[in-house]
Structure 1
Amino acid sequence: MADEPTPIHSSCHCGAITVIVPRLPDHINHCQCTICRRYGAAWGYYHPDEVKIETKPNAVTKQYIWGDRELSFNFCDTCGCVMYWWPLQPPPTDGGEYQMGLNTSNVNPEVLRFVDRKYEYSWVKQPLRSKEASHQDDLAKY
């Protein structure tokens, strides 16, 4: 009988927000889009149903939503740590991929020591639906 995976805890610096996922991510992605490279986030991906978010009393999670408005970047209002991004659209009806991104930079690095890292450049030139919604540093062709 195989051991059950150990849940992974990701906490902001002040400890007000903790995100708990059931296992290590398949890989960690250092996305290079205009927002993720500024956050310096290292994303692990999970289905939203797998994720538990705990907040201390009076803790506030703020959101930043931009571009195509398909996901929100969520951070602690007290210490400013970017915790996760969350899909704002309903799951696809065709059974396509539906995920959220956990910022693994908020996880004990020893826990993630043997998880493969990727530097994802495909989003650098991925156009949004509307050029007007893009960032000034967007390199996509419209």
Structure 2
Amino acid sequence: MAAEAENVPIPSSCHCGAIKVTVPRLPQYTNYCQCTICRRYGVAWAYYHPDEVKIETKPDAITRQYIWGDRTASFNFCDNCGCMCYWWPLGPRPTDGEEYMMGVNTNNMDPEVLKYVDRKFSYSYVKVPMKAKDATHPEDLATYEH
């Protein structure tokens, strides 16, 4: 794909159009995360720094959040049509040079735009260490720090 096409803003929206999310360029890949929540949502994440992503809502639109586990991310969806739009990192920004990213659901984008983007199924979050066992899903295979 031509480099100029890779750096064109890509819009997405929930089904009813109340929430619009625009990213600055094609993602490196889309990730079908297989953790207990993402596989149930059926999402395909693309990752960007939050400062790069533009989120717009129509007047009176409501974005709902679901926060679970270690409370490190909020999953944000349209209250009207129910489409999962993005996850947002919670807590302080890392100061040690660690990446600070959010996930945007590419299933809300035009599939024609993404047809040459690599897709991967990530199982890396299935066993990520969690802070507390009581905050996880019963099917979670994670290890626990405490």
**Shorter-chain TM-score range:** over 0.9
Q: TM-score, normalised by structure 1?
A: 0.96
Pair 1:3-2:1 in alignment: no
Q: CA deviation at 1:3?
A: 3.4
CA distance in 2, matches of 1:67, 1:58: 30
State the identity as a percent: 70
Offset at residue 37 of structure 1 (A): 0.1
The CA deviation at 1:119 is 0.4
Partner of residue 71, structure 1: 73
Identify which of 55, 70, 73 aligns with 1:53: 55
- Structure 1: unaligned runs, 5 residues or longer: none
For residue 19 of structure 2, the aligned residue among 17, 20, 33 is: 17
Q: How does 1:1-142 map to 2 (within 5 A)?
A: 3=4, 5-142=7-144
Return structure 1 stretches of 4+ with deviation > 4 angstroms.
none
- Whichever residue aligns with residue 138 of structure 2, its letter is Q
Residues 87-111 of structure 1, C-alpha deviations (whole Å, 9 max, x = no match): 0122111111100000000000000
Distance 1:90 1:50 in 2: 18
Q: TM-score, normalised by structure 2?
A: 0.93
Over aligned residues, Cα RMSD in angstroms?
A: 1.1
- Residue 80 of structure 1 aligns to which amino acid in structure 2? G
